[in-house]
Structures are given as structure tokens and as C-alpha cells.
Structure 1
Amino acid sequence: VLVHLGGHEGRAIGLSAKIAAYALQDGGADTVDANLELGLPVDAREYGGAAAVLRALGVERVRLLTNNPAKELGLSQHGVEVVERVG
């Protein structure tokens, strides 16, 4: 099962904010510093929706394709067991 969360683009800060962050990154800032300079959270993504979709499909355990441990934690906090993180 593949779940794509469109609202997560740009760490869920929105397209216009993502463009503003890119401008700061072009000047040398990294993603975290750019978001903070814009007064935005470092990462506004939330994983409850993804967990709800998975549970509705009967999926209780997943192999998660990511290198981001926050995604694993987010799913686990919402009742989806991550048996392996690949990435």
C-alpha cells in the first residue's frame, strides 16, 4: 500500500512559504534555518491521517520507505507498527 500525503510537500508549510524558503536556501540557509527565519515550524507534518487511512485499509504493520525517524514515530503514535524503516 502506498499512501501519498499531498499536504506534506515542503514539510507542510504551504507552497508560497516553500517558495520563500527556497529563496533563503539559495542564499545559503538550510531548510531548518529558512523555515525558522520565516517564522514557520521546522516541520509541520502530522501523521494521524496516514495512520487512519492505513487502519481503514486493515494495515496495522508497515515497512516504511523513509530515512526520517519522525515519520516512524508519527505512525507509531497513531497505532501503526513500523516493523522496518527502509531508506
Structure 2
Amino acid sequence: MLTDPRIHSFLALCQHGTTTAAAAATNRALSTISTHVSAIEARVGATLFRRAHGAFILTELGEEVRKHAETIVAAEAAILAAALTRQSEATGAKSGTRS
């Protein structure tokens, strides 16, 4: 993972709606999800979720941050895919085969 793990915790909470479900989905402790989201909120200086009966609902700013976070994660996937392709090409060239 190239991106800050806090981004992945934030996106998991966006997707799953509770810290318990986000923690289970990311194999992280519930407290880690809370800490990561609180750190992002502190950094941007705004609340990104409304908390209601144990559920987390994105604020308007939270929705905007989610879109940017998804772009970051997609860029990370593209970087890793490009690196893998280059490695495969280099391995194929060394062994005398072409993909």
C-alpha cells in the first residue's frame, strides 16, 4: 500500500457506515478506524461524518473528500499495475520471451 492507511480507513467507513463493519472489512481494530478518521478530520479542520445511532453519515464536505480519496486509491492501483507490467516485460525480455 502506497497511500496513507488513514485514507483506506476513511473509505471503509464511507462504504460500511459503522466503525465495527469498517474494522472488520479492513482487518483493523475498531479504535484504529476511529483514530484514522479523527486524524483526517483534524487535518482538514472539519467534521466529515455525522454520527447518528452508531452510524456514520457523510457530510457534504465528507462526500467531497470521499471522491478525492477514491481518486488517490485509483491512482495507487494504476501505479502498481504499471509497475507490474514493466516488471513482467523486463522478465520476459531477460528470458527471451515476449508477452
TM-score (normalised: structure 2): 0.32
Q: Which has the larger radius of gyration?
A: 2
| Structure with greater proportional strand content | 1
| Structure with greater proportional helix content | 2
TM-score (normalised: structure 1): 0.35
